[in-house]
Amino acid sequence: MQYNVSVLYPSDARSVVVGGVNGQFKTVFQKLGALHAKNNFAFAIVAGDLFAASLEAESTDAADVQALVDGSIDVPLPTYFALGNHPLPPAVGQKLESEDEVCHNLFFLGKRTTMKTSEGIRIVALGGQLDQNIIAGQSKDKYLPFYTETDAKILRGATTADILITNEWPEGIQKRSKVEFNPEAQPSMRQCIADLDVILKPRYHFSTSGNTFYEREPFFHQPSDDTDNLYPVTRFISLASFGNPNKQKWIYAFSLEPSASHPVSPPTGSTACPVTLSEKKRGAPEHREQHLVYDDGSRGRRGNKRRKGESRGPITASECFFCLANENIATHLVASIGENSYLTTAKGPLPASQTYPKLGFPSHMLIIPFSHQATLGSMEEEERHATYAEMQRYRRAMNSMLKSVADTEYGSVTWEASKSSLPHTHWQYLPVSADLISKGLVEAAFKALAENLHWPKFEKEDVGDGFEETSDFFRVLVWNPKDDPDKQTSYVMRFDEKIRFHNQFGREVLAKLLRLDNRVDWKNCGQTQAQEEQDVEKFKEAFKNFDFAA
């Protein structure tokens, strides 16, 4: 063989990963075809740029891209390509707007992805470079090679990965390593990518490094209950580009059995994990991350402790719109990401942008736990305490924001339907004018509608994190701006299946109270994405001095 790579394959190789292809995909697919004929790979990964940096309209490169999109270049096996340093060619972007694949067998991983191959291998990918200047908005375009810290944080919700693919390197990856690495250009190293290694504990982490290959000693993660006291091992491999002048390794075959168990002790030649979680610097406990459960979508109460050997289930696109790991959630609505929960603006907010003139934005917010659980009460103790505390912290922080903007003009109402048949618990938060609160009209409005519907009575009572509760309940937390921002008056209505509780109850009451009857259905309050983004920006601006997670 003329390729210096052919000797590298172990006999049981099942998949293959290549570095940057930089537009030479015709040649690379031919080579992959020849290797695939001998090795029968399950799939291939292109960890770096598949396409060249830019295309002259009349060039052969542009003609090749067109031929690829038209399906006249053979892609010999399922191939997943990442987003590297180059934007996708427009013809490819256009094709992906209407189709899932660029051509038969060729799939774009996207800039922020969690997916599962048909072999059950879970791939998490973060493409492009960290967008240092988000104001420019480049990170929002899905075919431009930029990502944000939020994109990286969202992927932490995937909980686990078999393969992690990132264009940039994790901060600190060379620590504890004896392997030499003398690149022409140092790869950018990012703490947010180090966080992904710590949390996802991938079996393989693939990246690229220009004309230089780097394979670190495998590193092991500390055993814990969550790893069944075994040692998960990560192999970090950074490939050179195809055709690099140094003849460095640009292709790597590997075999991966997703159900294989982790070793009982650190393998020979491995090192301890070189990277650390950013939270550690702030003193947060590491094990918290292991509770970022991504559920398989089964509804209802469910402990978040996996049984040994129990499958984690596939991540599919449309399952849960409150799970941060869901790639289809509207991430442009996200306003703040905490340790256990996050804050988003409501889609189709009840108030309009001018309902609260002193704010100038709806400020209808959702406080959503990371954990995919029906109720706070069904979370495990530690997670429940931390999550409830942080949701309250968000409520207080927003109350402080209202006070800073409007003095004592607006108070707030926070409500929650704690119902075991709901997929993912959350709170809704809304400002209301202070006189409605001081006159007792908020409390009266909830009680009156419940009474009209012949539902159980509201009790003035605080049920905390809900753990003691044995039935479904609906609660309202009212804050009077004359009080400190952490004060609340809590009302609870417990109910069972004898009543037909509807989940829009809280919104319905407030629509009547605020004389926004025509906006009771959120679907009638649709905004364009530009309007939504504007409201998020205005909220963030007002909230920035109170955002403890920023």
Binding site for Zn ion (CB under 5 A): 320, 322-323, 372, 424
* CB-count exposure of residue 297 (10 Å: 0-12, 13-18, 19+): middle
- State which residue, 54 or 298, has the beta carbon closest to Zn ion: 298
- State which residue, 233 or 320, has the beta carbon closest to Zn ion: 320
CB 201 → Zn ion: shortest distance, Å? 21
CA-closest candidate to residue 78, choices 53, 97, 111, 100: 100
Spell out where 434-520 has E strands.
459-460, 472-479, 489-495
DSSP code of residue 233: E
Find the DSSP H helices in 323-478: 381-406, 434-438, 441-452
CB 417 → Zn ion: shortest distance, Å? 15
Strand partners, 147: 130
DSSP code of residue 530: H
DSSP string for residues in 274-342: ----GGGGGT--GGGGGG-----S--S---SPPPTT-------TTS-TT-TT-TTS-GGGEEEE-SSEE
Strand partners, 25: none
CA-closest candidate to residue 370, choices 436, 293, 255: 293
- State which residue, 51 or 322, has the beta carbon closest to Zn ion: 322
User: Which whole-number Å values give the CA distances from 271 to 232, 260, 277, 386, in the listed order?
Assistant: 12, 21, 17, 32
CB 324 → Zn ion: shortest distance, Å? 8
- State which residue, 320 or 350, has the beta carbon closest to Zn ion: 320
Distance CA 524, CA 521 (A): 6
CB 338 → Zn ion: shortest distance, Å? 16
CB 317 → Zn ion: shortest distance, Å? 13
HEC letters along 369-385: ECCCCCCHHHCCHHHHH
CB 321 → Zn ion: shortest distance, Å? 8
- State which residue, 190 or 384, has the beta carbon closest to Zn ion: 384
Strand, coil or helix: what is 517?
A: helix
The encoded tokens of residue 274 equal 């070189």
Q: Which helix or strand (DSSP H or E) is residue 130 part of?
A: strand 129-130
CB 243 → Zn ion: shortest distance, Å? 44
CB 35 → Zn ion: shortest distance, Å? 41
CB 325 → Zn ion: shortest distance, Å? 8
- State which residue, 370 or 543, has the beta carbon closest to Zn ion: 370
Q: Which helix or strand (DSSP H or E) is residue 192 part of?
A: helix 191-200
- State which residue, 322 or 546, has the beta carbon closest to Zn ion: 322
Distance CA 390, CA 523 (A): 29
- State which residue, 201 or 424, has the beta carbon closest to Zn ion: 424
- State which residue, 304 or 400, has the beta carbon closest to Zn ion: 304
Distance CA 254, CA 269 (A): 18
Q: Which helix or strand (DSSP H or E) is residue 415 part of?
A: strand 410-418
CB 159 → Zn ion: shortest distance, Å? 12
- State which residue, 108 or 370, has the beta carbon closest to Zn ion: 370
